[in-house]
Amino acid sequence: MKTLTWIIRIVAATILFQTLFFKFTAAEESVYIFSTLGIEPYGRIGSGIAELIASILILIPRTTFLGALMGMGVIIGALLSHIFILGIEVQNDGGTLFILAVITFLCCTFLIFQNKNKISNLLKLKF
């Protein structure tokens, strides 16, 4: 089970991390997506920062739960954007971005359920 968990962590973190190049370099497709959503450039850069943090947290066993929650939040936004505004296929990508979002959603869901016992630990945090 430990190997499977690491594979799922790596898949989720890799998908989240690989989009950063496109977001932070203002790649044409990324600018198109966030312009269509009406949140260019702040939404593109902000979601990129959130994905960077989530991908790092997912890979650290102690913070996997938080990273998966954060990743799921970002990905739910992406999925809803695809379903209601962008469409499944964006600029003739064959639905690749949507499929990657679904895979990331599933990975984050698995990691959240696997680490659900850590919720009580979060509630006990003292600042």
Please write the tens of the pLDDT for every residue from 25-44. 999 999 999 999 999 999 99
Residue-wise burial string across 86-114, b where 16 or more C-beta atoms lie within 10 A, e elsewhere: beeebeeeeeebbebbeebbebbbbbbeb
pLDDT at 118: 78
Higher pLDDT, 30 or 118: 30
